Structure 1
Amino acid sequence: MGVEEEYLLVDAEGVPTGVADAAVRAYERGGGEPADEGEPGGGLEHELQEQQIETGTHPCVDLSELAAEVREGRRRAAGAAQQAGGRLVAVATSPVPGPTTLSRGARYEAMAQTYALTVREQLTSGCHVHVSVEDDDEGVAVLDGIGPWLPVLLALSANSPYWRGEDTGYASIRSQLWNRWPTAGPTAPFGSAQAYRDTVAGLVATGAALDPAMIYFDARLSPRYPTVEIRVADVCLRADDAVLVAALARGLVETAARQATQGVRPVLTRVEPLRAATWRAGRTGLAGDLLVPPMMKPVPARDAVAALLDHLRPALTDSGDLPMVQELVAGLWQRGTGADEQRAWALEGGLPGVIDHAVEATLA
């Protein structure tokens, strides 16, 4: 498994600042390894806007190794941001208003022309977890099996309560903004690898996606690596929460792959309740009810998380991840999600204070 994290870059006053290109160049001038399309992990990468930067871990098997890689990626990006005159902060949307500056490149320019305001206002940061699969057939069986559980991962990671200087009332407003893309969101079961490929090709043919890399499903087959890529989560405020999301994502993939091997058919959930479950998770995070399979009925968030852990217990036990996952879940319940922490800081020192605290928490 591996984790990609997108971060916001801010200036001394906490306003988003377009220094990503300068940060990447500073990192590479200092001897940092450029990001390699063929070999995941290491380096720094541009994102859609100059006010963002991305890191990725190398593929890991051990959860402790992954945790070290996540923290090292954050340190790497923070050091480069500092050299460029900015600060790194792991929040999924900016608490304060700020500009967006499109990153250079023909593809980004084509996106801006095609999607207009959606691109201009797209300053959101996510956490993407890659988990290896044997082939596309296993990958699609996994996608069909994990969909109803993905909103719980969104709720656990919720870290974007503010947008343009105001409290949106959502724990993850990023999930709302992200779903403005025509190819984003949950998907109904595909049934086969060929059906998945036909769906992707059809969306590209319509112009709703410029290329397969713009298939922004909550979980997809990665166009770059032999993995299932789970993309539903906000970037997590704290590294511990990113590790938790990754461990649960791997547990979901392993559980679904085992069930497919055993001939257990996935719950055939229509996309409408999946969209409702995703909205519910983004609206209240862990503070309200969540919808869980098989019935997709609302239950308290604690019960939903407990149900997810029960569903994953055999896989988490076999991987050795269960004790750490239980510890990380307990820590999350104690301090709250990133959205909870941001709101608490805002009460103390207003939105500029949120950024200062979040910069510290990003590297804690």
Structure 2
Amino acid sequence: MARRSPEISGLEWHPGGEFSLGGEDELFLVDQRGLMLGPAAEAVMSTLSARGAHGTLKGEIFVDEIELETPICSDAEGVHRSLQRLRSSLVTEGVRPMAVGLHPSAGFGAADLAASPRYDRIGGEFAGLLRTPTAAFQVHVGAPDPATALKVYRGLRNRLSVFRALAAGSPYWHAHDSGLACVRPAILRSYPRTTMPPALPTWEAYVEAIELAVWAHEVPDYSYVCWELRPQPRLGTIEVRVMDAQSSLARAAGLTALVQGLARHAVESPDLQDLPDEVVLANDLRACRYGLEASVVDADGSRRPMREIAARALDDARKHLTPDGLDGLLDAVQAILVEPPEYVRQRALYERDGMPALLADLAARTANVDC
């Protein structure tokens, strides 16, 4: 069976900074009532797309969604400062952004897509599957070579459900309670090539898996293969894609620090085995359903409460960040374990004051870059 070579498919590793960080903050553009703008967002986006010293504002596949990209940062504080300035620039321009994994009341139906060669291709392939926009908070962590990248990949993959549970904050869809802590993956799982990350014992295994996917799906390159955790060879990073968009930038920054700390832990104290693919999927499904109240299979193969696993992951990250004075932002992750989770907070607000109040709250928290 034919395969593309790494030279053709662009899979050679370009060294990234050692544990450097980058954030991608996906936001919905909403009106004064908190409803998505739809085609009206095109005029707004035409004035916003720009690149500056603090990062990049760019359109997403949906016309009423924007992505804020930070520059390469040495630590989570740099990501935090960049996103503060980028979100503030939106608010200054009179734009109302909303950070949430899935808009709570957006209807089920055909979404309005932005025009570009890449998006036209995806829209043609996915057709009616692109029916409801989703938004994520994605973090890249750098690695200097493939061997280090795979250690980071293994460590983060074994704990991927921890990130899902800590960041879970999309309980509503189409104005109804989904019953899940995080419903966004229910949309994403319908998309081709959007799957949980497979076990990768070697770099050659990664190359073979990607080349097969690119060939079988007839797509141009590896960037169309959207595992929820994936190597990015051209950037020299491992990209964490499971987290819901975070209305609180403090929590987004804390989760970024957690990625960096656990990446360091994965290299300095490597896991001895990969969790089987079916276990990683099962862990993720339980985290989506129950959030921090789930029980999942730990990296050592034992079943434990999610809160216990998350607390230990936080301790491991803090151990590796504290010597460099980079652990302060992890306090926001500790708060997630102590305070009511975001999906609980949203449900309480909705039950007390209704959907308009929930939409107003999400937009206000997104605009408040100090929370």
TM-score of the pair, normalised by structure 1: 0.87
Partners of 2:86 and 2:196 in 1: CA distance: 28
Task: Quote the residue 2:122 is aligned against.
Answer: 111
| Identical-pair percentage | 26
Q: Does 1:160 align with 2:170?
A: yes
What is the one-letter code of the residue matched to 1:45? K
* Aligned with residue 7 of structure 1, among 12, 15, 27: 27
Q: Is the 8 A contact 2:193 2:227 kept in 1?
A: yes
Task: Quote the residue 2:37 is aligned against.
Answer: 17
What is the one-letter code of the residue matched to 1:67? H
Q: Is the 8 A contact 1:273 1:296 kept in 2?
A: no
How big is each residue's C-alpha offset from its partner over 1:58-98, in whole Å with a ceiling of 9 and x where there is no partner?
22224333322222222223344x35xxx210011111124
Task: Quote the residue 1:202 is aligned against.
Answer: 212
Task: Quote the residue 1:321 is aligned against.
Answer: 326
Partners of 2:54 and 2:81 in 1: CA distance: 13
Structure 1: any 5+ residue segments left out of the alignment?
none
* Aligned with residue 280 of structure 1, among 286, 305, 312: 286
Task: Quote the residue 1:350 is aligned against.
Answer: 354
Q: Does 1:61 align with 2:74?
A: yes
* Aligned with residue 113 of structure 2, among 88, 93, 102: 102
Q: Does 1:251 align with 2:261?
A: yes
Q: Is the 8 A contact 2:265 2:320 kept in 1?
A: yes
Task: Quote the residue 1:34 is aligned against.
Answer: 51
What is the one-letter code of the residue matched to 1:90? A
Deviation at 1:338, TM superposition (A): 2.7
Give the secondary structure class of the aligned counterpart of 1:187: coil
Partners of 1:132 and 1:206 in 2: CA distance: 29
Q: For the structure 1 residues 163 and 226, does the alpha-carbon distance in structure 2 shift closer, same or farther, using more than 3 Å as the test?
A: same
What is the one-letter code of the residue matched to 2:182? S
* Aligned with residue 203 of structure 2, among 193, 201, 215: 193
Partners of 2:356 and 2:296 in 1: CA distance: 31
Q: Is the 8 A contact 2:197 2:230 kept in 1?
A: no
Give the secondary structure class of the aligned counterpart of 2:243: strand
Partners of 2:189 and 2:260 in 1: CA distance: 24
Give the secondary structure class of the aligned counterpart of 2:195: coil
Structure 2: any 5+ residue segments left out of the alignment?
1-20
Q: Is the 8 A contact 2:295 2:303 kept in 1?
A: no
The farther-off stretch of 288-297 and 103-112 is 288-297
* Aligned with residue 102 of structure 2, among 90, 93, 108: 93
User: How many pairs does the alignment contain?
Assistant: 345
Task: Quote the residue 1:331 is aligned against.
Answer: 335
The farther-off stretch of 182-191 and 124-133 is 182-191
Q: Does 1:360 align with 2:359?
A: no
Task: Quote the residue 2:300 is aligned against.
Answer: 294
Partners of 1:133 and 1:168 in 2: CA distance: 38
Partners of 2:313 and 2:282 in 1: CA distance: 18
